[in-house]
Chains A and B, each alone.
Chain A
C-alpha cells in the first residue's frame, strides 16, 4: 500500500510546474511584451500628450475629447470607413462565394480561372492601385474611353465627390434630398478596385471551405430528391458557415483599417477620407502624434466592437 502524496507536496509540485511553464513561455512573453504590449502602452502614453517630435505637455484625455467632439473629422472619417466597409464586404463576399461555388463544379479550365482570380491579390497593391487610377483618369483613362465609344457620358470617377444617387438623379432630372446622396463616386470607384483585388483571395478561402464538406451529404440529399438550390441552402451554406464567419471577420477588419490603395488612388479626397487616412494625415502632415495616437486607439475600439458583435452573432449562426 502506497502512501498518498501530501497536500504540501502537491502544492509545491503545482508551483514548480507553473514556474517551469512560465520559463518555457518566457522567450515568447518577453518578445510579446517588448514588441507588442510595450508599443501599445507607449502609444497610449503618447495619446495623452501634446506630442510633436517629442512630448510637449500632458493633456490627459484632451486628444480623445477633441476627436469625439461633435463635428470633428473623426466622425466624418468613421462614416466614410463604415460606408466603405458596408459597400465592399457584401459585394466581395457574394462574388467570391458565387465564383467559388462555380469553380468548385466540374468546369473546364477552372485551374486557370483560379489563378487569374487570385493574381490581383498577389500583385503589389500600390502598383495595381496606380494602374487603376490611370484607368479611371477622366480625360485619358480607358474606362471613360470605353464609355465614350458606347456613346455614354464620361465620368470623373476618383475626382468626383458627389454621391452616386445625386449623379443618377441629376442625369434623370430628379430632385434628391441631401440624406439620399449616397457614397461618392470616388468611394464607389475605390470599392470596385477593392473587389477586383480581394475577390480572388476570398474565393480561395471559400474553395477550401467547400472542399471540407463531405460529398456523401450531397449524394444522400440528391437521392432524397434535393435540387441545386436546396443543396446549397441546406448543405453548403450551413456547413460553410465557419469559413464564411472567418472570411467575414477578416474582410470587415481589413476594410475598417484599409489604407494603401485608398491613399494611392485618392489620397483620401472626394469622400474617401477613412479613419486610417485621417490618422496618417494627422501623424505625418500635421505632425500631431498625440492626437493621431488617440484616433488610432478609437479606431481600434471600433474594430474591437465590430469583432465582438460578429462573435456574438456567430455564436448563434455558425455550425461547427
Chain B
C-alpha cells in the first residue's frame, strides 16, 4: 500500500512538473495589449471571398482620448519593441540610433530593436503570426499594402492624431519639410484621412546602364524614350555570346514602372479596381514580349539571387531595371569585376519624356495598436528618427532617399564624397538626380491583397511575354479580373 502511495505521489509530481513547463517562463513586465477583435458580423456564412462579409474596421484608439492628454514620464519608462529587416549599414545605423535615443529621450522611452532575418515577406508573415498570437511589435517595417492588411482588422494605428497633436506633433513648417509624395503614399483611399505608416525609406525603380557599352553602341546618352530603350537593348544583344540588352529578374515593380512610363496606373485612383489592363498596360507587356521574342532580354531565374547584378558587373547585360537602393551594391559588384567600367542609373525611359511618371516605393514604419502610452512612445521614436540630421545620416547609411527636403543636400553631398563611388562619378551623380524624380512619383497599389496580385502579374508576364503562350490583352484582362476578386476580398466593409 505504501508503495502504491509513493508511486502515485511520484506520478502526480511528474504530471505537475510537465504541466508547469510551458508556464515556467517569467511573464513580461508589461504584457502587450491583445489586438482588438474584429467587429462581429451577422452576415450569413458563405464563400470566404465575399467582400460583403468583411467586418467593419475597428476605429483606431489614438483619437479617442486625445493624444495631448497622454503623459509619459521618465519615472515610469515606456518600453516598445521595433521589428525591422535592415542589414549592413542600415541595420548598424538603426541600432546606434536606438541606443542614442534610449539614452537621451526625455520621455523615458526604451526601444528594443529586433532584426528579423529574411525577406519583407518573411517579416510580413512573422507579424501576421504575432498578431494571431496577440503579441505584435509596437513598430515594424511594412509596405503600404501590408499596413492596409493589418488595418483591415484594426491592428495598426492612424498616425494623423499624433502628427496633429499640439504637444507631440509636427509644426506646419516641419510637415512642409517632408516630400508630400512620401507622406501621401502612406495613405489609402479605403481609409480616408488616415496615415498608416511613417515614411522612412523610399527608393525609385530606375534603369542601371553600362555607359562604356552604350558608347560602343554609338549612343551618347542613356535612352530617354521607350523606343530608344528597345532599340539599344536589341542592338546590344548577342545571345550566342550570352550578352543581352536587358536582365529581367521577374520583379513586378519593374512591370509597374513600365505601365507608369506608358502613362497608365496599376490601381484606379479611388482604389476600387485594378486597371493595369489599360492601353498603357498593353504597351508595357507588348514591349517585354518583343524584347524576349527578339532575344534582347534574358530571364533571371527566381532562385538566382542578384543574378541581374552579377550579369551587369560581368558586362553580360547592358540594362537592368532595379531599385535605386542598389547603388552601393552595384558599385561593389562592378569594382570587383574583372574589367570595371563606367555606369550609372537614370530615370526609366518614358513614352512621353515631357510627362514622366516614376515608380517610387519603400517600406514605411507602422505603429501597432497597444496602449495609448506605447502608441505615443512609438510615434515619438518615429518623429525623432526623421529629424533632418538623423534622416540625412540614415539616407547615407542605407542608400534610400532622404524623406525630408532639408536633409537631401547633406545626403547628396555625403554620397558624392563616398569613396565607394570615387571611380564611378556618374553613379554618384545619379543619386542627386534621384531627388528630381520625386515630383514624378507614383505608387503601385497601397491596398491589402497586393502581394498575391503581384504573383498574378508575375504569372501573366511569364505567360504573355516570356513564353508567349497567350495573347497580351487576354493575359492582362484575365489577371485584372482575378486581381479585382482579390481586391474585393480585402476591402473594408461598405467600401
Interface residues in chain A, defined as those with a beta carbon under 8 Å from any beta carbon in chain B = 16, 20, 23-24, 26-27, 30-31, 34, 50, 52-60, 62-63, 66, 129-130, 133-134, 136-140, 158-159, 161, 264-267, 269, 281, 284-291
Q: Determine the distance from Cα of A269 to Cα of B124 in the docked complex, in whole angstroms.
A: 22
Contact A20 B150 (CB under 8 A): no
What residues of chain A lie closer than 8 Å to B307, measured between beta carbons? 137, 140
Closest residue of B by beta carbon distance from A66:
B47
What residues of chain B lie closer than 8 Å to A55, measured between beta carbons? 38
Closest residue of A by beta carbon distance from B7:
A20
Contact A159 B18 (CB under 8 A): no
Q: Given A23-B11, A58-B45, A269-B462, decide whether A285 and B303 contact each other with a Cβ distance below 8 A.
A: no
What residues of chain A lie closer than 8 Å to B455, measured between beta carbons? 281, 285
Q: Determine the distance from Cα of A136 to Cα of B54 in the docked complex, in whole angstroms.
A: 45
Main secondary structure of the interface of A (DSSP, over half): helix
Which single member of B11, B242, B486 contacts A24 (CB below 8 Å)? B11
Chain B contributes a number of interface residues (CB within 8 A of A) equal to 52
Contact B11 A56 (CB under 8 A): no
Contact A62 B149 (CB under 8 A): no
Q: Quick check: is B278 within 8 A (CB to CB) of the other chain?
A: no
Q: Choose the segment among B281-289, B294-302, B378-386 that binds chain A (4+ C-beta atoms closer than 8 Å).
A: B294-302
What residues of chain A lie closer than 8 Å to B54, measured between beta carbons? 56
Q: Determine the distance from Cα of A133 to Cα of B300 in the docked complex, in whole angstroms.
A: 11
Q: Quick check: is B95 within 8 A (CB to CB) of the other chain?
A: no
Q: Determine the distance from Cα of A266 to Cα of B462 in the docked complex, in whole angstroms.
A: 13
Q: Given A134-B304, A264-B303, decide whether A54 and B37 contact each other with a Cβ distance below 8 A.
A: yes
Contact B302 A266 (CB under 8 A): yes
What residues of chain B lie closer than 8 Å to A159, measured between beta carbons? 299, 301
Q: Given A20-B7, A30-B15, A66-B47, decide whether A57 and B452 contact each other with a Cβ distance below 8 A.
A: no
Contact B55 A20 (CB under 8 A): no
Within the complex, the shortest CB–CB distance from A158 to chain B, in Å, comes to 6
What 0/1 readout, one digit per residue, does chain B (233-252) give for beta carbons within 8 Å of chain A?
Answer: 00000000010000000000
Which single member of B18, B47, B121, B305 contacts A30 (CB below 8 Å)? B18
19 other A-B residue contacts (CB within 8 Å) besides A52-B152, A140-B307, A159-B299: A20-B11, A23-B15, A26-B11, A26-B15, A30-B18, A34-B22, A54-B38, A58-B45, A62-B45, A62-B48, A133-B304, A134-B304, A136-B301, A138-B301, A140-B311, A284-B121, A285-B455, A287-B149, A288-B48
Interface residues in chain B, defined as those with a beta carbon under 8 Å from any beta carbon in chain A = 4, 7-8, 11-12, 14-15, 17-19, 22, 35, 37-38, 41, 43, 45-48, 53-55, 121, 124-125, 128, 131-132, 149-150, 152-153, 155, 242, 298-299, 301-305, 307, 311, 316, 449, 451-452, 455, 462, 467, 486
Contact B47 A27 (CB under 8 A): no
Contact B125 A284 (CB under 8 A): yes
Closest residue of B by beta carbon distance from A52:
B153
Contact B45 A59 (CB under 8 A): yes
What residues of chain B lie closer than 8 Å to A138, measured between beta carbons? 299, 301
Q: Determine the distance from Cα of A134 to Cα of B301 in the docked complex, in whole angstroms.
A: 9
Kindly list the 6 A-B residue pairs having the minimum CB-CB distance in the complex, ordered from nearest: A133-B303, A23-B11, A50-B48, A27-B18, A26-B15, A59-B45
Contact B48 A139 (CB under 8 A): no
Closest residue of B by beta carbon distance from A288:
B48
Which single member of A27, A136, A139, A287 contacts B15 (CB below 8 Å)? A27
Q: Given A137-B304, A161-B467, A264-B303, decide whether A286 and B452 contact each other with a Cβ distance below 8 A.
A: yes
Which single member of B38, B242, B486 contacts A56 (CB below 8 Å)? B38
Within the complex, the shortest CB–CB distance from A102 to chain B, in Å, comes to 33
Q: Given A20-B7, A56-B41, A59-B46, decide whether A50 and B53 contact each other with a Cβ distance below 8 A.
A: yes
Contact B303 A265 (CB under 8 A): yes
Within the complex, the shortest CB–CB distance from B492 to chain A, in Å, comes to 12
Q: Determine the distance from Cα of A269 to Cα of B302 in the docked complex, in whole angstroms.
A: 10
What residues of chain A lie closer than 8 Å to B55, measured between beta carbons? 56
Contact A66 B304 (CB under 8 A): no
Q: Determine the distance from Cα of A50 to Cα of B124 in the docked complex, in whole angstroms.
A: 20
Closest residue of A by beta carbon distance from B451:
A285
What residues of chain A lie closer than 8 Å to B124, measured between beta carbons? 284
Closest residue of A by beta carbon distance from B303:
A133
Closest residue of B by beta carbon distance from A160:
B467
Contact B46 A158 (CB under 8 A): no
Contact A26 B48 (CB under 8 A): no
Within the complex, the shortest CB–CB distance from A294 to chain B, in Å, comes to 10
Within the complex, the shortest CB–CB distance from A288 to chain B, in Å, comes to 7
Q: List 13 A-B contacts (CB under 8 A).
A: A23-B12, A26-B14, A50-B53, A52-B153, A53-B150, A59-B47, A59-B48, A133-B303, A134-B304, A137-B307, A139-B242, A284-B121, A285-B452
What residues of chain B lie closer than 8 Å to A52, measured between beta carbons? 152-153
What residues of chain B lie closer than 8 Å to A56, measured between beta carbons? 38, 41, 48, 53-55
